[in-house]
Amino acid sequence: MNQIPEIFRAIPVNNFVILAVVLFSIGILGVLTRKNAIIIFMSVELMLNSVNLLFVTFSSYKSDPSGQVFVFFIMAIAAAEVAVGLAIIVMIYRRIRSTDVSLLNNLKG
C-alpha cells in the first residue's frame, strides 16, 4: 500500500496551486463586485474552500497529515461563521428591508 499513487507523478503540484489561486481570485471578485450580502458571503465560502484545497494538496504531496487536520478545523470555523453571519444578515434585512450592502452607509463621513 505504500506505493505512490500515479497522480503524484503525473500532475506537478504547481497545477493544484494555480487552480487554488484561480478559485481564490474568483472569490475576491465576487466579494468586490456583487451587492447582495448573501452572494458576498458565498464568495467568502468559495475563498475558504480554495484555501482548503491548497492545504490538502500540500498535505498529500508531502505526506503530512497536519494539513488535513487543519482543513478540518477550517471547515468547523466556516460553519460557525456562517451561522453567525447569516444571523447578522437577517438582522440587517429586518432593519433596511433589503440585503443590498450599498444601502449600509451610516459610517459615511
Partner 1 sequence: MVQNLFYFLSFLAVLSALMVILSKNPIHSVLYLILTFFTLSGHYVLLNAQFLAIVNVIVYAGAIMVLFLFTIMFLNLKDDTFTGSRILYHLGAGLVVFTLAGLIILKISKETIIIADDAHFDSQIGMVENLGQVLFNRFLVPFELVSILFLSAMVGAVMLGRREKGEKNF
Partner 2 sequence: MEQLLSLIPLFPLIGFLINGFGARKIPKGLAGIVGVLASGASFLVALFLLFQFLGAGQKAISVTLWQWISGASWSVGFSFYADQLTFCMLMVVTGVGFLIHVFSYGYMHEDEGFGKFFSFLNLFLFSMLVLVLGGNLLMTFIGWEGVGLCSFLLIGFWNKNDAFNDAAKKAFVMNRIGDLGFLIGIFLILFRFNTLQYTELVTALGSVEVLNDTYLVWAGICFFIGAMGKSAQLPLFTWLPDAMAGPTPVSALIHAATMVTSGIYLVIRMNALYSTIPMVQEFILWIGLATAIIGALVGTSQNDIKKILAYSTVSQLGFMFVALGVGAYTAALFHVITHAFFKALLFLGAGSVIHGLHEEQDIRNMGGLKKFLPLTYGVFLVANLAIAGIPPFSGFFSKDEILAHTFAGNKIAYILLTVTAGITAFYMFRLFFLVFFNEYRGKLSTEKIHDAPPSMAIPLVILAVLSLIGGFIGIPEVFHMPHYLNDFLQPVLAPSNAVASLHPNLHPVISHSEEWIVMGVSVVVSLIGIGVAWSMYFSRKLVPDFEPETNPLVKLTNGKFFFDQIYNAVIVKPITLIANIFSVLVDLLMINLLVEGFGILSRFAGSTLKLTQAGRVSGYAFLMVCSILLFALIFIFKTF
Residues within window 75-104 making contact with partner 1, judged by CB under 8 A: 75-84, 86-91, 93-94, 97, 99
**Residues 53 and 45: beta-carbon distance below 8 Å:** no
- Residue list 4-23, contact with partner 1 (CB under 8 A): 4-8, 10-11, 13-19, 21-23
- Which residues have CB under 8 Å from 92's CB, separation 6+? 37, 99, 104
- Which residues have CB under 8 Å from 104's CB, separation 6+? 92, 96
- Residue list 24-83, contact with partner 1 (CB under 8 A): 24-30, 32-36, 38-39, 41-43, 45-46, 49, 52-53, 56-57, 59-66, 68-69, 71-73, 75-83
Chain Cα centroid distance, residue 27: 7
Q: Site for partner 2 (CB under 8 A): which residue of 4, 10, 32, 91?
A: 32
Task: Please give the C-alpha separations between residue 92 and each of 65, 96, 103, in angstroms, as whole numbers.
Answer: 41, 6, 10
Residues touching partner 1, count (CB under 8 A): 77
Which among 3-11, 28-36, 59-67, 74-82 is the span making contact with partner 2, rule CB under 8 A?
28-36
Note whether 105 binds partner 1 by CB under 8 A: no
Euclidean distance between CA atoms 80 and 12, whole angstroms: 34
Write out the residues near partner 2 by the rule CB under 8 A: 28, 31-33, 35, 101-102, 104-109
